[in-house]
Structure 1
Amino acid sequence: MASMQEGRHEDTESSFTLPEAVVFEILTRAPLEALPACRWVCRQWRQITYEPAFTSLHCSRTQTISGYFIQSMRHNHYHSSFVSIQPLPPSVRPLSFDFLPRDVKIEAVGCRGIVLCTSQWYDGIPGRYYVCKPATRQWWWIPNPKTRYLTKRIAMVACSTGPLEYKIIRFSQAEQNFDCLRCEIFDSRSQAWRLSRDVQLPSGSLRQEAAVSVNGALHWLTYEGNIFAFDIHKETWKLIPLPEEVGEDEMRWDCRKLVKCEGQLCLVLVEKQWMEIWVMANYEEQIWEERKVVSLEAINYDPALTIEDLYLSDVAFMGSFFRVTWYDLSRGVLANICIDHPFAQEVFKFESDLVPLE
């Protein structure tokens, strides 16, 4: 599954050049599935596809859905809703999971609009694992892993082009061994789970949030002040230190967020009226660079405000009490949307086309 890995982009230029306006027009009409390959053509093409003006026009021209699933728990049941500042295509009804046989919890989101969900035990019926594409309302069951072990973290990685192939990586708590995570991997080609090597890391170390998939690895922040990275292909793991300047800060943990932006691993820090953005400029050598420091005075200090993601390099997606905010780091608030969740317990970035899965 080499196509699953998004590696380092080389600073190469194409052997011929087109006016940037022409390239922009072409790329805004490229299918969502083709964008990863377009970003490999040259530096110019990659930069264009990450421009703020590109996303809105590309969504409109290609009927691409771009936004976030917000998930929280009510009365012992999980509830999710979709939010976006991009209008949904006219032919698409509001995204939900009401087409699945049972109420579900979102576990992970992969590229191409596929989502991993699980249902809970109900009237003695065990829960099931589902893979679905909400934009086309397709779904199928997959075998359950050894669910007698409690899931601690789970992630999905899908190939970005060609026939749909994906892997699910699940870490669970082995009984009476709190310093060891059991690792199981599901491969869509074999339609089976298999055991990988255990991870010698306390189960409580990894923060409860969606994994960040960059450079062929899954990443989670730990409570010990570093990043846990699991290589999808080698099935090995390592700990990556945070930037020295922030590694020892005693700020609230909900003020730190690990995200992916423009194909790079990023660390976002929010403390009172300031936001810092750090980028891992060299993944192999683990070199961090401070990209920018931004004042948040325009939205006033809200103790409940949390950073959820970088929607674009200059647009932060933030959550607060019964609302979410898209905040342009240069121009101020782009949009506030009220949600029916007191707080977003989990947030999943979602991009999808309307092409049915075969």
Structure 2
Amino acid sequence: MNKKLEPNDVVVDCTPDVDLRICHIQQHSRSLQILVHPKLLFFAILTITVVIGFIMPTVAFTGCYDDKLKVILQKLFTIFCKVLDNVVAQLPDDVVIDILLRLPADRVADCRRVCRRWRSLTSSDYFIKLHLDRSAPLIFVQATDLTDSRGTGKLAFYILYQASNRRNKIKKLRLRPEIKMSQGDTEVVDSCHGLLLFRDAFARWRYYVFNPLTQELLVLDGPNEGASCAFFYDPSANELKILYLCIGFQFFIYSLGGRSWRKIKSPPSGSPPQYDTPLAICNGALHWITSCGRAAEEDIPPCTSGITIFGMDTEDFSTLPHPGDECNSRVNHRNMRLLVVDEHLSFCNVYRGYTVIDIWLLEDYASWAWVRKWCLRPILDGPRPLESECYSFSRRLEVVHFQNGELWLDCGERGLVLYHLDQNTFKKLGRPPTSYQHRCIPYTKSLVPLHRAALPQD
């Protein structure tokens, strides 16, 4: 709908290239276009700084340098900075917020350097929560170099995503030198609100909470040796929490806001939820596939208790049956995954040599009524040109995430594949270097600070 612009109207137009153009209609029907792009602002400031830094030593070398010229150059630079401040200051807060909400989190972090006002706006709890709610998940990959001559298994971190031109991208994350995580001894466990949870592979009571965007790191030690069962946001308490299982079947909860551990009641059954694996959060509760243990002699849990549930409000455990056939092997049980599909709890079962995927949806949570929605045979029914890319299904296939009608599949050394359920098509997303063993989890870039580890209430 085309609307005639009146004096003092403000129009915001964000192009696909993320150029932020603000057209402000002033009095007397005069229009002023201002291009407010962080890179241009940085380039302009950098240019002036370099010019001033180049002129001063040159003039001093020729013997013409004096205090008056230095004062003049400093005044020119001050005037230039004030002009930029005035340009930014003309924009109302709500317009600036609406513009910055359209940028990815790393671009917002760059925009914080433009001026104190933008830094203040983007650091508020309101902005951080709104930006997080609008951000789409990416794929975070931790890769371990198996050819490392030192035998330590050097770590590398990647993000897989689709660019604005729909092309697949893989970006390596570089950590600052002061981020101290034991190289080769750290395993990624889960992510929540843009924070990643790592576990020390040797000191099994030690965990790291890390924000790759802000480079903030929190090191925490569990009450005893054990494993993390969940990293989640509790909206009732407005806190990020970690559910932890200690030796002796004791459960604790760690609050990132309070920086403290407290013991809770253990599940009634002897089978714990799967630990150090992502979980599904739905209907105010955490959901896992019940663990069948690490040792080969341990029994498979009965299918009537195949899903473990933890209520965030009550902090009580319960178990309910998983849908489909009864488990006939430990491998089949461990290949089960729980996801959230269109706000419904979803059960994914990979079986028959990694060639068949059954996907069930929980249509009625109160009555625990499941419906089998899809039965996928990716290799047999998939497009023939992509069969070779997905051939490693016969070796490994792990369901990672579901988004926009696409199932994210980790195909081992073949990388990650997006499988569109309705169109029955594959799309290869990418992979880290072939010499790396990797693990993938969904991850959302965010500006959530570790020193607060909480979001505002709605």
Q: How high is the TM-score relative to the length of structure 1?
A: 0.67
Task: Give the alignment partner of residue 306 of structure 1, picking from 397, 402, 416.
Answer: 397
After the TM superposition, which of the residue ranges 308-317 and 279-288 deviates more from structure 2? 308-317
Q: 1:49-80 CA deviation, whole Å, 9 max, x = no partner?
A: xxxxxxxxx76xxxx66223346695565845
Q: Which residue of 2 aligns with 1:216?
A: 284
Equivalents in 1 of 2:130, 2:312: separation in Å? 22
Partner of 1:101: 180
User: In 2, distance between residues paired with 1:72 and 1:345?
Assistant: 6
Deviation at 1:356, TM superposition (A): 5.3
Which structure dedicates a bigger proportion of its chain to helix?
2
TM-superposed deviation, 1:218: 1.9
Match of 2:197 in 1: 116
Q: CA RMSD in A?
A: 3.8
SS of 2:325's equivalent in the other structure is helix
Task: Report if aligned partners of 2:267, 2:318 keep a CA contact under 8 Å in 1.
Answer: no
1:69 to 137, 141, 157: 141
1:333 maps to 426
C-alpha deviations, 1:90-139, integer Å up to 9, x for none?
xx97335555212233233112x0122234568xxx97433221122122
Between 1 and 2, higher relative CO (CA 8 Å, sep ≥ 6) is seen in 1
Question: 2:444 matched to which residue of 1?
Answer: 351
Instruction: Tell me what 2:207 maps to.
Output: 129
What letter corresponds to residue 146 of structure 1 in structure 2? Answer: P
1: CA distance between counterparts of 2:265 and 2:201? 27
1:129 and 1:80 map into 2 onto residues whose CA distance is 18
Residue of structure 2 in register with 1:236 after alignment: 316
SS of the equivalent of 2:359 reads: strand
- Aligned pair 1:324/2:401, yes or no? no
Separation in 2, partners of 1:77, 1:33: 36
The counterpart of 2:231, out of the listed 156, 159, 163, is 156
Cα deviation, residue 266, structure 1: 0.6
Structure 1 residues 130-160: Cα deviation after superposition (integer angstroms, max 9, x where no partner): 3221122122334x2212x332x43111257
1:170 deviates by 0.4
1:327 Cα shift? 1.7
One-letter amino acid of the counterpart of residue 326, structure 1 = L
1:54 matched residue in structure 2: none
Name the CA distance, whole Å, in 1 between partners of 2:321 and 2:436.
29
Q: 1:85 aligns with which of 156, 161, 184?
A: 161
Q: Measure how far apart 1:238 and its partner are.
A: 0.9
Q: Aligned ranges for residues 135-154 of structure 1 at < 5 Å?
A: 135-142=213-220, 144-147=221-224, 149-151=225-227, 153-154=228-229
Contact 2:223 2:246 in 1 (8 A): no
Q: Equivalent residue for 1:170?
A: 244
Distance 2:351 2:439 in 1: 20
Residues of 2 paired with 1:205 and 1:231: CA distance? 13
Q: Does the aligned pair in 2 maintain the 1:254–1:306 contact within 8 Å?
A: no
**Distance between the aligned counterparts of 1:258 and 1:65, measured in 2?**
17
Q: Which residue of 2 aligns with 1:267?
A: 347
Q: How does 1:19-30 map to 2 (within 5 A)?
A: 29=102
Q: Distance in 2 between matches of 1:287 and 1:35?
A: 35
TM-score (norm 2): 0.54
Structure 1: 5+ residue runs without aligned partners?
A: 1-25, 38-57, 175-180
Letter in 1 for 2:315: E
Is 1:246 paired with 2:325? yes
Specify the SS of the correspondent of 2:314. Answer: coil
CA radius of gyration, larger in:
2
Cα deviation for residue 351 of structure 1 reads 0.9
Q: Which of 124, 129, 142 is the aligned partner of 1:33?
A: 129
Q: Is the 8 A contact 1:261 1:310 kept in 2?
A: no
Aligned AA for 1:114?
Answer: L
The one-letter code of the counterpart of 1:101 is K
Q: Encode CA deviations 1:4-62: one digit per residue, 9 max, x unaligned.
A: xxxxxxxxxxxxxxxxxxxxxx9x9497833897xxxxxxxxxxxxxxxxxxxx76xxx
Aligned to 1:52: none
Give the 3-state SS of the residue equivalent to 1:170 in structure 2.
strand
Q: Quickly say closer, same or farther: Cα 1:232–1:160, change in 2 above 3 A.
A: closer
Give the percent of matched residue pairs that are identical in Structure 1 and Structure 2: 16
Distance across 2 between alignment mates of 1:165 and 1:204: 24
The alignment partner of 1:334 has SS state of strand
CA contact (8 A) 1:321 1:342 kept: no
Conserved 8 A contact 1:319-1:344: no
Considering fraction of residues, name the structure with more strand. Answer: 1
Q: Which amino acid aligns with 1:337?
A: G
- Residue 187 (structure 1) shift: 1.4
CA distance in 2, matches of 1:356, 1:227: 33
